[in-house]
Amino acid sequence: MANCLFCKIIDGEIPATLVYEDDTVIALNDINPQAPTHILIVPRQHIDTLNHLTEADTFIVGHMVQVGQKLANQLGHAAKGYRLVMNCNADGGQTVFHIHLHLFAGRQFAWPPG
Ligand code: AMP
Ligand code: ZN
């Protein structure tokens, strides 16, 4: 997808340090971290928003969550806990329109979210 930040990172047009990658997703540290651990898990396939998901994307989204769980575990956050978040459109706080899962960990998070 032209002019998509995450597609450019996936295609190597914009350099980024990946903390994980496989055939379905990449993961990288957020440039503006909101917690000691703040990782973005991004599917290689461009999907604009959660509103654009179809049944065919079920594996991708399930895999994103599995990768979030594995990274949280590998980084030592499993026992204390962590948060996985996907934002959708303006009210959800989405700023990059290629779906991604935030992994937040390393501090106590408030509920309800702001
Ligand atoms: P969202 O607001 O849910 O769409 O999340 C987009 C996230 O991408 C934000 O947390 C940004 O800080 C992050 N971000 C923007 N540009 C970059 C970049 N070049 N590398 C890593 N993270 C980025
Ligand atoms: Zn994209």
So where are the chain's domains? 5-105
Model pTM?
0.98
pLDDT tens, 27-67?
A: 999 999 999 999 999 999 999 999 999 999 999 999 999 99
Spatial separation of the C-alpha atoms in residues 70 and 1, rounded to whole Å: 28
pLDDT tens, 66-96?
A: 999 999 999 999 999 999 999 999 999 999 9
Q: Which of 20, 29, 31, 87 to mutate to test the pocket of ligand 1 (most atoms within 8 A of CB)?
A: 31
Compute, in angstroms, the gap from residue 94 CA to the centroid of ligand 2: 13
Structure confidence at residue 36 (pLDDT)? 98
Domain 5-105 class? alpha beta
Structure confidence at residue 77 (pLDDT)? 98
Spatial separation of the C-alpha atoms in residues 29 and 31, rounded to whole Å: 6
